[in-house]
């Protein structure tokens, strides 16, 4: 009997071949210093094109929004052209792809900031114990503590909203099937959402609706240039690393899910926190999310193919994102169809340069 995970899923006028999603994965392998996607990146994504949907690695909307050397950008013509080659390669193999747009906020370093200034955030609160990745004078990459940020002015917040809009327009021009707002994992938008990282006293801080405001303003700006049926958002309720300790994670997720639903966007992708030591999201919580959001729901976090099949059969998820399994198994869909075997991901090459641990994981026929 065919697995439901391998059956098609329609969202808007886009038909996904199956419900296996390649979760967004930062791999730090674009061309430095301009963060332009390369032929190697195109090869990596094209190898994984049998996924129902590939979500790109997080892609910064500005240099100031970067926190990891080698992560991709989408704010220059060269980056747009680089992404077009990647998307064309995925389309040539019949795949569909979403562009995940991010701003890291305080998860950054003077290295990425104009004139070596402080990174930006809702409030001047450091992400204690968090690391970003910079290029040293000798050309090697190194993980270093993030720098203490400064609080954004209202005018600067408006500029960031505009940068999301511009980047989203570039994503459409590059041919992406979807564009995703990265509002998860302790980066800028979740820094605004969470009670402990947002101490503002203006319209972006205080009550929940104010803390949610920037996430929705960004989405509305993206909606000006992307069809609603081509838009997605990623949230990570109960996420508890990168210095996030939100007192109202459920309320925030439900409020936002409802607002996303009103706007009729294509999908909501939920990053479950258990893979980084957080709680397991309960069935009760997932039911509430299902009620609040009428579009496609994608969950990711420590799913085995068996657990993923259960999740889509339960009706609480429409599709499942696989992260580390996709790093190691370019032909994950075929492997799921055959019941395995699965290559094991090598953590030591998650964020290193070159093809090792990137495009050299064997497909089944070559195993
Ligand atoms: C190397 C690596 C890079 C990641 N990069 C991103 C990213 O760019 N954007 C994002 O939203 N999540 C990112 N994640 C989280 C994954 O999308 C996913 O939620 C997580 O790996 C849990 O799924 P898994 O247990 O199937 O690996 C990353 C995870 C890993 C391991």
Tens digits of residue pLDDT in 215-234 = 999 999 999 999 999 999 99
- Residues lining ligand 1, CB < 6 A? 23-26, 57-58, 100, 182, 184-185, 234, 271, 275, 300-303, 322-325, 350
CA 303 to ligand 1: nearest atom: 26
For 268, the 3-state DSSP assignment is strand
pLDDT of residue 184: 98
What is the C-alpha to C-alpha distance for residues 52 and 308, in angstroms, rounded to an integer? 14
Q: 323 CA to middle of ligand 1, Å?
A: 5
Pairing of strands 53-55, 72-73: unpaired
Q: Which of 145, 348, 161 is nearest to 242 (CA)?
A: 145
Q: Name the residue with the closest Cα to ligand 1, atom 16.
A: 323
Neighbours of 345 (CB within 10 A): 17
Written as six digits, the tokens of 357 are 């641990």
What is the C-alpha to C-alpha distance for residues 208 and 195, in angstroms, rounded to an integer? 8
Q: 104 CA to middle of ligand 1, Å?
A: 15
3-state helix/strand/coil string of 9-78: EEECCEEECCCEEECCCCCCCCECCCCECCHHHHHHHHHCCCCCEEECCCEECCHHHCCECCCEECCCHH
Please give the domain boundaries of the chain with CATH numbers for all domains: 4-366 (3.20.20.70)
Q: Name the residue with the closest Cα to ligand 1, atom 12.
A: 24
Residue whose CB lies within 8 A of the most ligand 1 atoms, among 45, 107, 323, 329, for a mutation test:
323
Q: 174 CA to middle of ligand 1, Å?
A: 23
Q: Do you know the residue count of the chain?
A: 367
Active site residue 111: no
pLDDT of residue 18: 98
CA 184 to ligand 1: nearest atom: 11
The single residue of 44, 164, 187, 204 carrying the catalytic annotation is 187
pLDDT of residue 300: 98
Q: Which of 69, 60, 65, 242 is nearest to 143 (CA)?
A: 69
Residue 39 has phi, psi (to 5 degrees) of -60, -35
Low-confidence residues in the chain, pLDDT < 70 = 366-367
CA 321 to ligand 1: nearest atom: 26
pLDDT of residue 366: 57
Written as six digits, the tokens of 34 are 């301009």
Residue whose CB lies within 8 A of the most ligand 1 atoms, among 5, 22, 26, for a mutation test:
26
CA 324 to ligand 1: nearest atom: 27
Find out whether the peptide bond into 341 is cis, omega within 30 degrees of 0.
yes
């Amino acid at each position: 009997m065919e697995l439901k995970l391998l059956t098609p899923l329609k969202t808007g006028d886009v038909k996904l071949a199956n419900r296996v999603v390649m979760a967004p994965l930062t791999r730090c392998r674009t061309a430095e210093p301009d963060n332009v996607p390369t032929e190697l990146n195109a090869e990596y994504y094209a190898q994984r094109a049998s996924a129902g949907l590939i979500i790109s690695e997080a892609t910064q909307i500005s240099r100031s929004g970067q926190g990891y050397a080698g992560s991709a950008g989408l704010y220059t013509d060269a980056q747009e052209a680089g992404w077009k080659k990647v998307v064309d390669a995925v389309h040539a193999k019949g795949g569909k792809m979403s562009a995940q747009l991010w701003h890291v906020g305080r998860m950054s370093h003077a290295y990425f900031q104009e004139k070596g200034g402080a990174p930006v955030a809702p409030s001047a609160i450091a992400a204690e114990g968090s690391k970003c990745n910079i290029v040293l004078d000798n050309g090697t990459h190194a993980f270093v503590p993030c720098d203490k940020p400064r609080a954004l002015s209202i005018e600067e917040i408006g500029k960031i909203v505009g940068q999301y809009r511009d980047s989203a327009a570039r994503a459409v021009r590059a041919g992406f099937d979807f564009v995703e707002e990265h509002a998860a994992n302790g980066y800028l938008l979740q820094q605004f959402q969470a009670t402990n990282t947002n101490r503002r006293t203006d319209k972006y801080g205080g009550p929940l609706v104010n803390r949610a405001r920037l996430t929705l303003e960004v989405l509305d700006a993206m909606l000006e240039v992307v069809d609603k049926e081509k838009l997605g958002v990623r949230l990570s309720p109960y996420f508890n690393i990168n210095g996030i300790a939100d007192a109202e994670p459920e309320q925030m997720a439900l409020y936002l899910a409802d607002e996303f639903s009103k706007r009729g966007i294509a999908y909501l992708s939920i990053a479950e926190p258990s893979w980084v030591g957080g709680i397991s999201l309960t069935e009760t919580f997932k039911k509430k999310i299902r009620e609040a959001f009428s579009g496609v729901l994608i969950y990711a976090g420590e799913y085995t193919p068996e657990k993923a099949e259960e999740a889509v059969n339960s009706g609480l998820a429409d599709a499942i994102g696989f992260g580390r399994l996709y790093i190691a198994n370019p032909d994950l869909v075929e492997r799921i169809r055959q019941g395995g075997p699965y290559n094991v991901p090598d953590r030591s090459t998650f964020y290193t340069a070159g093809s090792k641990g990137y495009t050299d994981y064997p497909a089944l026929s070559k195993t």
